[in-house]
């Protein structure tokens, strides 16, 4: 079963959605990396679910980022999308930024989420266990936080860009614009949501008690971008939440360990 890309008209503009499979609906919210195209995880999940993976405005082909100033706007966009896709209360899984968005949705509109899965979620500030910087560091350094295995093709590409930067004296002009354009786009979109406060909402933690759906927190054991304390905080603040780990994966676990992550998600959803 493979997911197919389609375009739907949303209030903010045209939105790219990947959908496929059959079963109960399962919405996948991507991270700041904008994963979706060719993401094996979606195909894995589509074996047992009706998988719906929208690209957030500013990512992929999706329009309308100029209308989204913050997480509040992002949640309203998601509600709009759910209505247009006739999703009453799907299961929602989100990675990192997507996990934060899912948590914001579930605290405000708990009735729109049947089951919640937060994977290496952003969204909280924990003193002494801060989320590392994503807006100013070079791709080589970032790759170390994103992948447990530095020989993963995407990690290797990030190191390649780093090398090109270094050879140009730290100069972005030394890199072909088309190569960095997608990354500039996704980071610009992410900045709208998470520049300040940095990748968190100071009010989120005290609102987590509002989440009423069964909740699973997934932490990749080698995620060095978001410390374990964040997953633990989510797990302790959301009533009945379960915390599980996926080994041999770092922050972008959806890309690095699709089969293992799908197994954990399927296990939780069938339970």
Binding footprint of other proteins on the chain (CB under 8 A): 69, 135-136, 168-174, 177, 181, 184-185, 187-192, 195-196, 198
- Starting from the edge strand earliest in sequence, which strands make up the sheet with 215-220, in order? 4-10, 13-20, 50-54, 25-29, 91-95, 115-119, 215-220, 242-246
170 vs 202 by CB, closer to other proteins? 170
CB of 212 to other proteins, least distance (A): 32
CB of 65 to other proteins, least distance (A): 9
Strand partners, 244: 218
174 vs 259 by CB, closer to other proteins? 174
229-261 burial code (b ≥16 CB/10 A, e <16): ebbebbbebbeebebeebeebbbbbbbbbbebb
8 vs 164 by CB, closer to other proteins? 164
By CB atoms closer than 10 A (0-12, 13-18, 19+), residue 69 is exposed
CB of 56 to other proteins, least distance (A): 14
Q: Beta strand 50-54 with 25-29: parallel, antiparallel or unpaired?
A: parallel
Q: From CA 244, how far away is CA 43, in angstroms rounded?
A: 22
Q: Beta strand 242-246 with 4-10: parallel, antiparallel or unpaired?
A: unpaired
Strand, coil or helix: 33: coil
30 vs 112 by CB, closer to other proteins? 30
191 vs 229 by CB, closer to other proteins? 191
CB of 172 to other proteins, least distance (A): 6
Q: Helix 153-167 vs helix 139-146: angle between axes, to the nearest 10 degrees? A: 160
Contact of 58 with 15, CB cutoff 8 Å: no
91 vs 193 by CB, closer to other proteins? 193
CB of 165 to other proteins, least distance (A): 11
CB of 174 to other proteins, least distance (A): 6
Contact of 157 with 101, CB cutoff 8 Å: no
58 vs 94 by CB, closer to other proteins? 58
Helix (H) or strand (E) holding 15: strand 13-20
Q: From CA 120, how far away is CA 86, in angstroms rounded?
A: 28
CB of 235 to other proteins, least distance (A): 29
181 vs 248 by CB, closer to other proteins? 181
Give the 3-state DSSP-derived string for 34-69, with helices as H, strands as E and coil as C.
CCCCCCHHHHHHHCCCEEEEECCCCCCCCCCHHHCC
CB of 4 to other proteins, least distance (A): 28
């Amino acid at each position: 079963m493979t997911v197919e890309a389609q375009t739907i008209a949303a209030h903010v503009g045209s939105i790219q959605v990947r959908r496929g499979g059959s079963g109960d609906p399962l919405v996948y919210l991507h991270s700041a990396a904008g994963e979706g195209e060719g993401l094996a995880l979606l195909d894995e999940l589509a074996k047992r679910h009706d998988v719906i993976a929208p690209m957030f405005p500013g990512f992929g082909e999706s329009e309308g980022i100029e209308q989204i100033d913050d997480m509040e706007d992002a949640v309203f966009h998601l509600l709009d999308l759910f209505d247009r896709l006739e999703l009453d209360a799907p299961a929602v899984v989100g990675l990192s930024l997507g996990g934060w968005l899912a948590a914001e949705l579930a605290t405000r509109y708990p009735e729109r989420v049947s089951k919640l899965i937060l994977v290496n979620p952003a969204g909280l500030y924990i003193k002494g266990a801060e989320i590392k910087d994503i807006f100013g560091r070079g791709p080589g350094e970032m790759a170390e936080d994103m992948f447990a295995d530095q020989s993963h093709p995407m990690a290797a590409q990030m190191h390649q860009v780093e090398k090109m930067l270094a050879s140009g004296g730290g100069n972005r002009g030394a890199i072909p614009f088309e190569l960095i354009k997608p990354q500039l786009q996704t980071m610009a979109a992410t900045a709208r949501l998470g520049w300040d406060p940095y990748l968190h909402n100071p009010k989120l933690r005290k609102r987590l008690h509002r989440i009423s759906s069964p909740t699973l927190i997934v932490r990749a054991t080698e995620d060095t971008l978001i410390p374990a304390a964040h997953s633990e905080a989510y797990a302790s603040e959301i009533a009945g939440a379960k915390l599980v780990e996926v080994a041999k994966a770092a922050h972008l676990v959806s890309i690095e360990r699709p089969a293992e992550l799908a197994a954990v998600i399927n296990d939780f959803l069938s339970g």
